[in-house]
Amino acid sequence: MWFETSPAVADRHPARAAKPLSIMWGAVIGLYLAVAGFVAFNTNHGLTPGGAPAGYDFSALYEAGRFALHGHAADAYDDDTMIAAERTAFPGSITRLPWNYPPSFQLLLMPFAALPYLAAFLLWSVTGFALYAMTMRVVGPAGQHGPLLLFSGAAINLLMGQNGLLTVAVIGGGV
């Protein structure tokens, strides 16, 4: 079949075996970039069309890091204080993201909170994806790294600023 990439087919027709994979890579990366572009061009003062901050989940991580950076780490555990900080940082936001992580996680977030939000979000996403990619290269099946890197869960983590990529890297590092 045209999408078959077994070693036997790749040995006979290396260009034919690589072409579908290249098309898949291009299509998925194009889709991810299109979604990121749509979100970026449709934000209004840092808010997406749905009223959530760009990098929705990261906004809570960032605010908790800011509390810790300014010596008020415990304030992140007071839901009203945390939500007020998020609403102050993102006027018009409709989100309610309480802080449910251990205090030690705030230590990791403090350097990100020292940066402006957009720079912190981009650095968080790129760092998380880089750690995820290195982990998948080590623990993932040989020759199958591409699909793992294009995994839709990884894209959601990138776009939303979730900590799943970091979690995979920590667990994978333990393996």
pLDDT tens, position by position, 55-110: 788 989 999 999 999 999 999 999 999 989 988 888 877 778 889 999 999 999 99
- In this predicted structure, the answer to whether residue 15 has a pLDDT above a threshold of 70 is no
The candidate with the shortest Cα–Cα distance to 130, out of 167, 169, 164, is: 169
Encoded tokens for 37: 């572009």
Higher pLDDT, 16 or 66: 66
pLDDT in tens, 21-58: 678 777 777 877 787 777 667 666 667 667 677 778 89
Other beta carbons within 10 Å of 2: 8
What pLDDT is stored for residue 71 in this prediction? 96
Whole-number Å distance between alpha carbons of 157 and 58 = 10
- Alpha-carbon span 23 to 3, nearest angstrom: 11
Report whether 2 contacts 20 (CB < 8 A).
yes
pTM of the model: 0.76
pLDDT digits (tens, 9 = 90+) for 132-171: 888 888 887 777 767 777 777 888 888 888 899 999 899 9
The Cα 138–Cα 145 span in angstroms is 9
